[in-house]
Structure 1
């Protein structure tokens, strides 16, 4: 039986966490005719005597990497700061150790000025999800994330709560008709939308992204996989909001969460690879490779990132316009915010680049949306401008179970039961997006009362996600 070998097996054999384990696992995927026991023995021998395996068809690359690793010297790498600045934590008791460790490393970068960890934080790649990092004239592609400009958008309609319950079939029909989901999925021919963002000169002038325009056009107005959604819900204002000019009451609202689709993911992958080639950080920090904003490569990424952010905004605009027209509704107010992005801002009087990877901008008076899960409320918030948090707040409830763990431990019946208990209609989604996979949003909000004020509460009623739970690629 071809029993798989995993990273933990390799660690037990003495392989250090990092790139060597990745290379070793590739060997395992290519193995032919070896049992697990035989592969384990091979791995031991390669680690102990790599020179003997340099010409081996299966293990040659791994053997060379082991030798190269053994010959590395500290002076070969950019030195990390051994006395990094402290960073603020919110909801510390609910943040996993993996996220803390990633943030600790990020604070050691020589370009780091300040940092903060939001209460929904969990481990990611490079900067943790929920991590906020201010740097001096440097941009970290994995500090922004793979889904560049991932965004929340909320349209508040002049539709009373009762109308939704009396017309659920209509809302479901329009939700299915005017949304499209899944990794790689897009529109064809007459079903393609159009938007001014596609006419941006960057698509013609930028050396890397000029070939991505067709993909961007086909996916305009669609949503990815994973935790991306389009949903109807009831938004309740406990009191009048004079800034938005909305009276106390309950309103039907449309809430969307998605990003820059395959376009943004391709940009992220390309410039992360480029950053790793020019920014030689130690193994522990390699996913935090950064680009100097004064360099040609840094400027290329900055331009591409901003275009991807504008493209993500355009995708939401297309969805919201389609839905508003289909419902014949008047939009009383619209609120939007990016996460997975970097901004030029000031922190304590210093010009910095603020990376918010899974964090909501929360400058004083800045509006944002913090969703829960499909059975938990979300919140329309107004930022307080807390300096210690680098003007940020959480971007959601945050995961308490990995996708793999959720699929293994949550049954379809359990998911159906909790949806029924909360009177939520779900279209699509995999078990990895089950409500139980997420932290308690009330706990998260309680940990950030210094960061935001709650303006209104959103209760999900009809949620659409990718049919197969796929993630964007």
Structure 2
């Protein structure tokens, strides 16, 4: 019992309301103080009944103080709209209620203009992953996400798909020699590369950003943990694509997924905390704290977010350049796109800030990449510019189960069989990234046929992911 986590429902059962007192209680519970779950619950019950008795208790004083002043605290909060604005949900039957609940809260923000939920959506922090939110002159750090500028990048080479079988060992070695994975992992000084992004004047925005430059240099060209990957695969064009000028056929391709590494995570953490201090929202919406773009903090975050996006792109560029050089091949086409980002766009005749947290830009004729999993297809797509989706599409298949559940319930032998059946060689990764932990990509694509056209299909064959337990996504 002592290792079981106390959650909001446990506190509600004691008589707590969904307000800031609950948030303080859950924060205190993380310390646990060596008490069992039952003992902690009794403590919380006692504080709720007689908060004045705990004003000199070093652990529970913050909670007691909030309880005694809760009415004043609630009066100072920004008021949410009574009902959420309407929004479109794609593939609603396969989206968990937690994600819909989070989107409903986001649609009650006073700065919200419009929203949409993509078919790969699942619960996250603040805005659900797969959530798209348009706001009026306001930026939400947790509406962008922790891994700012996380993106996909695809290189299609002038080599036939048969090269994968003929040079399998060579391709596997190229991935191992030219990639580095995992949260916190970086290059030693003699291994580091230079890139124009390191000369970006935005690093001089303020002292906080300036201090991140060295971390950015050490991790330039690395990939995160969790669902980030670098993989060789087969790119199938069923007909010639006139825009890319690629003939019908099957080609060797490289697909990468990663973001802005430690620099982006540090920016997200810093400005989320600042937003919560400046934007006092009710407890259920506190992770959606926003910054006015006309404010100093909002302007700083906007610049830092764009710098992190440029840095994420540079990381992918370094990987693709290194691997192309090692491969000795010519590039036929390169396509890349952000997710976990915010853009200034026009919507219904006005400028809005479009947050795409785990969603792919899909304006008319804009190209993007929607991956499946390590053993299921990904898709090169072209946007249709559907306004009800706020010109967006899914960023992948979306999780079917949590990482913890996947690790506890999925079988390694089943994963091995699935990889073998699909001719996939896996380097690294854990059971939390097994294909069975994800939604069916074909179902997800069917739910967004009005949002994108499929240009080509990518079949993963040699996949590298973090193998050190990292969970940075």
In structure 2, the partner of 1:373 is 373
Match of 2:214 in 1: 214
The CA deviation at 1:469 is 3.5
When residues 468 and 412 of structure 1 are mapped into structure 2, their CA distance, relative to the original with a 3 A threshold, is farther
- Which position in structure 1 is the counterpart of 2:55? 54
- Partner of 1:393: helix, strand, or coil? strand
Gaps spanning 5+ residues in structure 1: where? none
Deviations 1:153-176 (A, max 9, x none): 000011111111111110110100
**Structure 2 equivalent of residue 325 of structure 1:** 325
What is the match of residue 397 of structure 2? 397
What is the alpha-carbon distance in structure 1 between the residues aligned to residue 123 and residue 379 of structure 2?
23
State how 1:96-111 maps to structure 2 within 5 Å. Answer: 96-111=96-111
Per-residue deviation, 1:382: 0.3
CA distance in 1, matches of 2:70, 2:408: 36
- Measured against aligned partners, the alpha-carbon deviations of 1:265-284 in whole angstroms (never above 9, x if no partner) come to 10011111111111111111
Q: CA shift at 1:249, angstroms?
A: 0.4
Between the aligned partners of 1:199 and 1:281, the Cα distance in structure 2 is 38
**2-structure distance, mates of 1:25, 1:126:** 17
Counterpart for residue 448 of structure 1: 448
Partner deviation per Cα, 1:361-385 (whole Å, 9 max, x = no partner)? 0000000000001111000000000
Aligned residue for 1:103, secondary structure, equals helix
SS at match of 1:214: helix
Is the counterpart of residue 359 in structure 1 residue 353 in structure 2? no
Question: Paired residue for 1:258?
Answer: 258
Alpha-carbon distance in structure 2 between the residues aligned to 1:397 and 1:36: 36
Q: TM-score, length-normalised on structure 2?
A: 0.96
Report the alpha carbon displacement of residue 31 of structure 1 after superposing the two structures with TM: 4.4
Task: Measure, in 1, the Cα distance between the counterparts of 2:113 and 2:256.
Answer: 33
**Aligned residues of 2:20 and 2:282 also touching (Cα < 8 A):** no
Q: Over aligned residue pairs, what C-alpha RMSD do you find?
A: 1.7
**What is the number of residues matched between the two proteins?**
472
Query: Does structure 2 retain, via aligned residues, the 8 Å contact 1:262–1:472?
Result: no
Mean CA deviation greater in 1-10 or 100-109: 1-10
> What residue is the counterpart of 1:236 in the other structure?
236
CA distance in 2, matches of 1:125, 1:31: 23
User: Aligned-pair distance for 1:14?
Assistant: 3.2
1:63 paired residue number: 64
CA distance in 2, matches of 1:359, 1:467: 26
User: Contact (CA 8 Å) 1:186, 1:219: kept in 2 or not?
Assistant: yes
CA offset at residue 294 of structure 1?
1.0
- Residues 18, 429 of structure 1: CA spacing in aligned structure 2 closer, same or farther, 3 A cutoff? farther
Partners of 2:54 and 2:3 in 1: how far apart? 23
**Structure 1 Cα separation of the partners of residues 436 and 274 of structure 2:** 38
Partners of 1:166 and 1:19 lie apart in 2 by: 61
Question: What is aligned with 2:138?
Answer: 138
Contact 2:2–2:38 under 8 Å retained in 1: no
Deviations 1:119-149 (A, max 9, x none): 1111111111111111111111111111000
Q: Is the CA contact (8 Å cut-off) linking 1:431 and 1:469 kept in structure 2? A: no
Is the contact made by 1:429 and 1:467 (CA closer than 8 Å) also made in structure 2? yes
Paired residues of 2:102 and 2:128 also in contact (CA < 8 A): yes
Pair 1:338-2:341 in alignment: no
- Cross-structure match for 1:465: 465
In structure 2, the partner of 1:203 is: 203
TM-fit CA distance, 1:47: 1.8
Cα pair distance change 1:399/1:18, threshold 3 Å: farther
In the alignment, what sits opposite 1:45? 46
The answer to whether the 8 Å contact 2:309/2:341 transfers is: yes
Q: Distance in 2 between matches of 1:278 and 1:35?
A: 36
Structure 2, unpaired ranges of 5+: none
CA contact (8 A) 2:415 2:434 kept: yes
Structure 1 residues 150-161: aligned runs within 5 Å: 150-161=150-161
2:212 counterpart SS class: helix
**Equivalent position SS for 2:333:** strand
- Once residues 311 and 347 of structure 2 are traced to their aligned partners in structure 1, the CA distance between those partners, rounded to angstroms, is 28
In 2, are the aligned partners of 1:184 and 1:472 still within 8 Å (CA)?
no
3-state secondary structure, aligned to 1:472: coil
**Separation in 2 of the partners of 1:22 and 1:209?**
29
Deviation of 1:37 (Å): 3.4
CA apart distance, 1:33: 5.5
Verify the 8 A CA contact 1:433 1:469 in the aligned structure 2.
no
Given that 2:116 and 2:131 are in contact with CA atoms closer than 8 Å, whether structure 1 keeps it comes out as yes
1:406-463: CA deviations, max 9, x gaps?
1121132222222222221111111111111100000000001110000000001011
Residue 165 of structure 2 is matched in structure 1 by 165
* Deviation, structure 1 residue 20: 4.2
- C-alpha spacing 1:196/1:238, structure 2 compared with 1 (3 Å): same
1:18 is displaced (CA, Å) by: 6.3
